[in-house]
């Protein structure tokens, strides 16, 4: 349904896309995971016909972005990283506008707009209220609604939750899950492994304009060494004894001085965590917090490329959550 | 892509633009205040030396041509704003006409120009300007002025699509207006300008539109203003009409080409 074939794009001397190949079958939710500057947005801009590739071609529902961009646009819904809603228009007017530009009649577009406002729970605000007064999460949902006004078979979402608060992220995730349940083929870009894990059937990892790994979330996590354990030490406590205790029970134990935290691999998941806690208790080492978590995108990167991702990720994305 | 789709999308976009302008009344202040300021400055600061009451009859045609030219900068700024905020990208990803976005902009900016026209004429009436022509001539003159406003609006669109940032579009969109409006017969007779400037002024479309407006409203030049000679002056309405068509013929395809070019950057 979506197909990128050797897509290359340079800006001046910078190679933003360096031969990207990706196949997304119909009905699948494909995650495109990578740090800032990896080529996610450029890929999206090529697929949405906003940017012409230098090399290769991209197909959407069998139509080339190069030779049949209009056919591509008719089958595509897009929602961007920066919600491109018109602040001066109400939610209803925004969606009606998009509907009319998809070629719907005004009355049809208005009815569809109303339907989508209800679906995305945007009908709770007064009808005359402008989109400029919406919260970040509401704006993003409005933008998302705009992407599916014409019920396109393919929807492309560029970092749909970046910059949202946890509540807004949850709401947006629900909306995307609904979309996928309806059979729409979705390509979504994200910086968060957790998000790709939650939403995508399959994940492609992109770095420096190339796809460097592909697979399910589980496969990628396994490649990065599976689950991880975080042990946060009590403030002021010396780390040596605790580090020794953790290392006896789990491989790859490391001490992060800035966070005053020990991190290790958890090949046996909860069982490893239990062993680590047992060792710590036996050694009489006090611990502030201990948790089992998924590897972060950074750790996946480190494992696959041997170098950390191009950008450090916001901590809230993957820490502070226990999956046990 | 059919012309019908372009028109249809143009209407949809124009409607959206007009709603936007209506909800940002502050943006219209310039459109209303600027012509008033120009009328008052030229009528009372320079007008005294140029023929007093008689000059005020002459002035209004010039102010109309100058203000409508200046209004093209609204097109440049509004379009650049939509480009910068990603609204145009949103439109470009939709299966709509490539001309639609720009056509919608240049059409909706005609509303601003109608407001300017009304303000100038009201201001003119207040300082003693009168029309001495039959209603048909007045109506035709109105239509010619609006066609001119529409035409120069495409120049503003090309500037926005080339500049792509609001700041650049704003300064570029204003810069060219001063020589074009002042090296003309808008405020004095073109014959009063020296050598090469006179030649430029004689063929300047702004001169033609100002002259055509004065003819259409029946406003004579004050005593002492040497009547402009040459073909453009003798056929001002026709020459003005040809200028409008020529501007559209050049700048509309240029704007669409620039719009397409965005996808290569």
Average pLDDT taken over every residue of chain B: 91
Spatial neighbors of B100 by CB under 8 A, at least 6 apart, are A101, B5, B6, B8, B9, B10, B12, B13, B91
| Contact call for residues A281 and A231 (beta carbons, < 8 A) | no
Among A51, A102, A146, select the one facing B95 at the smallest CB separation: A102
Distance from the Cα of B169 to chain A's closest Cα (Å) equals 20
| Contact call for residues A33 and A205 (beta carbons, < 8 A) | yes
Query: What's the gap between Cα A304 and its chain centre?
Result: 18
| Contact call for residues B173 and B76 (beta carbons, < 8 A) | yes
Q: What is the pLDDT of residue A49?
A: 92
Give percent of chain B with pLDDT exceeding 70.
99
Beta-bridged to residue A213, according to DSSP, are A205
Q: What is the pLDDT of residue A101?
A: 94
Tell which residue, B30, B29, B219, has the closest CA to residue B124.
B219
- Is the domain spanning A224-317 CATH 3.30.70.980? The answer is yes
A311 burial level (CB within 10 Å; 0-12, 13-18, 19+): middle
Q: What is the pLDDT of residue A312?
A: 37
| Contact call for residues A121 and A44 (beta carbons, < 8 A) | no
Q: What is the pLDDT of residues A157-184, one digit of tens each?
A: 999 888 888 888 888 888 888 888 888 9
Label residue A303 by pLDDT band (50, 70, 90): confident
**Cα dist from A300 to A160, A206, A256, A316, B226, whole Å:** 21, 11, 18, 17, 82
Residues 74-103 of B with CB under 8 A from A: 85-87, 89-96, 100
Q: What is the pLDDT of residue A296?
A: 78
| Contact call for residues B56 and B48 (beta carbons, < 8 A) | no
Model ipTM over 0.90: no
Give the start-to-end residue ranges of the domains of chain B.
Answer: 3-264
Distance CA B103, CA B256 (A): 10
Q: What is the pLDDT of residue A308?
A: 57
The DSSP string of A114-172 is HHHHHHTT-TTS-TT-BGGGS-HHHHHHHHHHHHTTT--SEEEEESTTTT--HHHHHHH
Q: What is the pLDDT of residue A322?
A: 34
B138 burial level (CB within 10 Å; 0-12, 13-18, 19+): middle
Label residue A304 by pLDDT band (50, 70, 90): confident
Nearest-by-CA chain A residue for B87: A84
Put simply, whether B164 touches A (Cβ < 8 Å) is no
**Within 13 Å, how many C-alpha atoms sit on residue A290's CB side?**
20
Which of A156-165, A301-310, B135-144 has maximum average pLDDT? B135-144
Q: What is the pLDDT of residue B265?
A: 62
Q: What is the pLDDT of residue A83?
A: 58
Label residue A82 by pLDDT band (50, 70, 90): low
Residue with tokens 């109303």: A114
Give the start-to-end residue ranges of the domains of chain A.
Answer: 2-221, 224-317
Q: What is the pLDDT of residue B52?
A: 84
**Within 13 Å, how many C-alpha atoms sit on residue B193's CB side?**
22
What sign has the CA pseudo-torsion B199, B201, B207, B211?
Answer: negative
Label residue A299 by pLDDT band (50, 70, 90): confident
Which token pair is A207? 């770095």
**Within 13 Å, how many C-alpha atoms sit on residue B32's CB side?**
7
Among A51, A88, A101, select the one facing B9 at the smallest CB separation: A101
Distance CA B195, CA B187 (A): 17
Q: What is the pLDDT of residues A131-142, one digit of tens each?
A: 999 988 888 889
**Is the pLDDT score of B130 beyond 60?**
yes
Mean pLDDT throughout B216-232? 83
Q: What is the pLDDT of residue A306?
A: 67
Average pLDDT taken over every residue of chain A: 87
**Is the pLDDT score of A102 beyond 90?**
yes
Residues of B in contact with A84 (CB under 8 A): 85-87, 89-90
Look at domain A2-221 and name its CATH class: alpha beta
Mean pLDDT throughout A183-204? 91
Check CB contact under 8 Å for B90 and A80: yes
Distance CA B126, CA B124 (A): 5
Put simply, whether B229 touches A (Cβ < 8 Å) is no
| Contact call for residues B247 and B85 (beta carbons, < 8 A) | no
Give percent of chain B with pLDDT exceeding 90.
72
Distance from the Cα of A174 to chain B's closest Cα (Å) equals 23
Q: What is the pLDDT of residue A307?
A: 63
Mean pLDDT throughout B149-160? 96
**Is the pLDDT score of B86 beyond 60?**
yes
Q: What is the pLDDT of residues B7-61, one digit of tens each?
A: 999 999 999 999 998 898 887 888 889 999 999 999 999 888 888 888 999 999 9
Mean pLDDT throughout A255-261? 90
Label residue B227 by pLDDT band (50, 70, 90): confident
The secondary element (H helix, E strand) that includes residue B254 is helix B236-261
Helix or strand or coil: residue A186? Answer: strand
Check CB contact under 8 Å for A50 and B93: yes
Q: What is the pLDDT of residue A156?
A: 95
Nearest-by-CA chain A residue for B89: A50
Which is more confidently placed, B96 or A305?
B96
pTM of the predicted model as reported, rounded to 2 decimal places: 0.84
Spatial neighbors of A248 by CB under 8 A, at least 6 apart, are A279
Q: What is the pLDDT of residue A324?
A: 31
Among A73, A86, A130, select the one facing B95 at the smallest CB separation: A73
């Amino acid at each position: 349904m979506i197909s990128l074939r050797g897509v290359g794009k340079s800006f001046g001397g910078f190679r933003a896309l360096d031969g990207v190949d990706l196949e997304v079958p119909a009905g699948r939710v494909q995650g495109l995971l990578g740090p800032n500057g990896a080529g996610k947005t450029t890929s999206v801009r090529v697929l949405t016909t906003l940017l012409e590739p230098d090399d290769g071609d991209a197909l959407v529902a069998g139509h080339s972005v190069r030779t049949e961009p209009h056919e591509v646009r008719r089958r595509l819904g897009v929602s961007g990283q920066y919600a491109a809603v018109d602040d001066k228009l109400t939610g209803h007017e925004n969606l009606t506008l998009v509907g009319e530009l998809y070629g719907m009649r005004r009355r049809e577009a208005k009815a569809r707009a109303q339907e989508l406002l209800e679906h995305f729970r945007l009908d709770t605000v007064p009808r005359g209220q402008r989109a400029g007064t919406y919260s970040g999460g509401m704006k993003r949902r409005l933008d998302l609604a705009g992407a599916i006004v014409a019920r396109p078979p393919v929807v492309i979402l560029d970092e749909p939750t970046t910059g949202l608060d946890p509540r807004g992220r949850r709401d947006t995730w629900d909306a995307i899950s609904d979309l996928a349940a309806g059979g729409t083929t979705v390509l979504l870009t994200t910086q968060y492994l957790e998000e790709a894990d939650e939403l995508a059937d399959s994940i492609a990892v992109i770095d420096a304009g190339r796809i460097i790994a592909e697979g399910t979330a589980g496969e990628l996590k396994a490649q990065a060494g599976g689950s991880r354990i975080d042990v946060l030490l009590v403030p002021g406590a010396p780390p040596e004894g605790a580090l020794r205790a953790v290392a006896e029970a789990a491989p790859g134990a490391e001490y992060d001085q800035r966070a005053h935290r020990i991190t290790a691999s958890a090949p046996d998941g909860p069982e490893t965590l239990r062993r680590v806690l047992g060792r710590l208790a036996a050694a009489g080492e006090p611990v502030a917090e201990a948790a089992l978590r998924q590897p972060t995108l950074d750790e996946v990167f480190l494992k696959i490329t041997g170098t950390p991702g191009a950008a450090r990720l916001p901590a809230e994305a993957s820490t502070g959550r226990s999956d046990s | 892509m059919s012309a019908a789709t372009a028109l249809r999308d143009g209407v949809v976009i124009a409607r959206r633009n007009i709603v936007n302008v209506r909800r940002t009344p502050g943006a219209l202040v310039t459109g209303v205040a600027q012509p008033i300021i120009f009328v008052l400055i030229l009528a009372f600061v320079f007008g005294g030396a140029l023929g007093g009451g008689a000059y005020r009859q002459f002035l209004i045609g010039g102010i109309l041509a100058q203000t409508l030219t200046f209004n093209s900068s609204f097109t440049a700024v509004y379009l650049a704003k939509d480009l910068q905020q990603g609204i145009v990208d949103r439109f470009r990803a939709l299966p709509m006409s490539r001309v639609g976005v720009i056509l919608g902009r240049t059409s909706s900016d005609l509303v601003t120009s109608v407001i300017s026209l009304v303000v100038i004429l009201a201001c003119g009436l207040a300082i003693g300007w009168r029309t001495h022509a039959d209603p048909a001539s007045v109506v035709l003159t109105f239509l010619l002025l609006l066609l001119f406003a529409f035409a120069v609006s495409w120049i503003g669109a090309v500037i926005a699509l080339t500049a792509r940032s609001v700041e650049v579009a704003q300064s570029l969109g204003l810069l060219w207006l001063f020589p074009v409006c002042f090296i003309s017969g808008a405020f004095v007779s073109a014959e009063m300008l020296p050598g090469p400037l006179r030649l430029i002024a004689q063929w300047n479309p702004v001169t033609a539109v100002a002259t055509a407006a004065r003819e259409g409203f029946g406003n004579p030049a004050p005593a002492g203003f040497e009547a402009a000679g040459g073909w453009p002056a003798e056929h001002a309405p026709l020459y003005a009409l040809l200028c409008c068509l020529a501007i559209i013929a050049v700048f509309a395809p240029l704007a669409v080409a620039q719009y397409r070019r965005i996808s290569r950057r």
